[in-house]
Structure 1
Amino acid sequence: MRIDVLMFDGVAEVDALTTYAVFATARRRGFEVDPHLVTADGATEVVGCYGTTFGGLVPWSPESARVLAVSGGWILEEIERGVIPRQLAEAKAIGGPELVLAGIDSGALFLGAAGLIGGRPATTHRQDLDRLKEWAEVVDARIVDDGDLVTCGSGWFAGTDLAYWLLERELGSPADVVALEQWIGRDRQGTVWRRGLS
């Protein structure tokens, strides 16, 4: 299962790397996952919101990825510019219903601005919940799972919880994910909201 974690200038380092680290650790422990740090425009280097330079990045692959994880960061200027939202809409058009969009923290706002939420249930960083109402039925939960749209709420480690959930949901092996969680040493927090189950 290919998982692309989107990197861009201004990306929140913690959002992207904690999410990626769970998937990369899962791969090392034998899970059938193939995570990548990617860019939409083929850039091999970006600078995060706290000034960290990331190199060795690869182009995303919406035609073959199962999950496209979109981190938060300093994104309001990017939303106003419109480039990343347009790229995300194009990626979803290529990936179709098989491509799961995962909004990490304020990354959900990118998905909303791209027209990819369309009134569906979603969550984001608590300070951005009112802004998210423009595009979503806001649910204040740690993780909101609406099929091919999965979003997570506030906190530096929300992406960790999102990654645990996606591994459990997609691979169908809760016991293995619990063992991974214990090996990483960070217990999950909050609740998972799913349509029809909450």
Structure 2
Amino acid sequence: MGKHLFFFFGILVSLASCGNQASDAMPKPRGFFRLYFPEKTYQPIEQGCPFSFEMPTYAVWAPDLSEKAKPCWKNLDFPNFNARLHISYFNITPEASFAELTEDARTFAFKHTAKATAIDQVVIHHTETDVHGILYEIRGNSASNVQFFVSDSTKHYLRGALYFNEKPHLDSIKPILDFIRADIDHLINTFSWK
């Protein structure tokens, strides 16, 4: 009888302890992959357009293959980060005036207002290279978080827009966005007209 009592007591203790563990169990929060960022090194772009700048060595310079693309519409792809900086160059003409092009850039940036928590405008002003413009920092879960334009206001105009090829979720892309934003700043700071 002592064996049966000991066996019964053992089962009772194990059931009681299982109940406590089950009530303390909580699902683990969803995690994200660890990110490895390459060393920041840059090289001049090689192309036949009327502008130049330094691009990251870990990015790929490629033509825009969309149907309506013009010869100096390019993409700066970041394959390790699933991101693309769309670059569109325009000659300023009476049909495509500086005022119209800058208004288009503002309109494209502010189309993200529905998802943005804020849109900050940073003035770009490099007198020595005749490069002037505005960088739009679009905060929140918008499709594009950085857009900009630069121009000499008489002949040349270039617009850039950064997109990630995934559903916008700022918490997950923030480290990558900050990393690429530094590359965009370098692009603008080394930008010049030919």
TM-score normalised over the length of structure 1: 0.27
More strand by share: 2
The structure that has the greater radius of gyration is 2
More helix by share: 1
TM-score normalised over the length of structure 2: 0.27
